[in-house]
A and B are shown apart, each in its own frame.
Chain A
Amino acid sequence: MATVLDTIEFNEEGFMTDPNAWTKEIAEVIAKGEGIENLAENHWIIIDFCRKTGEETGKAPTLRQITTGTGISTKELFALYPKGPAKKVAKISGLGKPEGCV
């Protein structure tokens, strides 16, 4: 079955290699693969923040940068992206693995 991911390249850890190839449809498909069936409004607030940070710095933001930058609490961030939000959010946003530690 053809999907929007067919033409997209991923590295061995599952992160997109070209952030510019990212689209919202791709995000939705990757999210499903990560166990998130529907991306709600607050999911998108986080993704938009990550995309903006990615464009400005070339890097995926850390979890703390996400919570301070979006005003979404740590609790909600972990509820929206359960079991490993750091990698999940970066993957869904089409960015590389976050490099910061906090």
Chain B
Amino acid sequence: MTEKKNRHIAFICSKGDLDMAYPALIMGWAALGNGVDVTIFFTFWGLDMITKDRCNKLEMAPVSKTSMKMKMMGLPTGNLGIPNILGIIPGMTAFTSWFLKKEMKKLGVPPIKEYIEMLSDGGAKLYGCKMTVDMFNIKKEDFLPQVNDVVTASDFIDMTEGAEIVFI
């Protein structure tokens, strides 16, 4: 009997915004739960997700979040978005980030650091991008202990042969 190769999904996380950090974590966790192998490559701002003193401080600025409507905060404003001019007020980014975290918590979604621990414990392989690490002068010890290694883009391509690749 020939052994069937297990399904493998690889995520590339390139964003450090709070709302862009969650998709790979949620999908990756679901994949592990269904017996699918998971590899996550963190590059550029995505490295914030695995950096000790950044991972639980990710934020979401309301400017450019066109789908974020004021009615989400319970205001009777219909389809009206948060005016970009309000977005530049000091504290607005902190407010929208707090709001998102609060809503996530209600659903039992853990903070980023805990999510990374869960994924690692569930068997996901986590890698930092060598070029970004060199560019931003980050050290391996700045990362959460769950990070398996810092690798080059070429290494990532090698280790994800046959995998489905999702870029975020």
Contact = CB atoms under 8 A, between A and B. Distances in A.
A63 B108 contact: no
Contacts of A70: none
Interface of A: 62-65, 73-75, 78, 83-88, 98, 100-102
A37 B123 CA distance: 22
Interface string B9-50: 000000000000000001001101111100000000000000
Interface residues of B, number: 18
B116 to A, nearest CB: 11
Interface of B is mostly: loop
B35 A87 contact: yes
B42 to A, nearest CB: 20
A80 to B, nearest CB: 12
Q: Say whether chain A's binding surface is mostly helix, strand, loop, or mixed.
A: helix
A100 B122 contact: no
Contacts of B91: none
Nearest to A65: B108
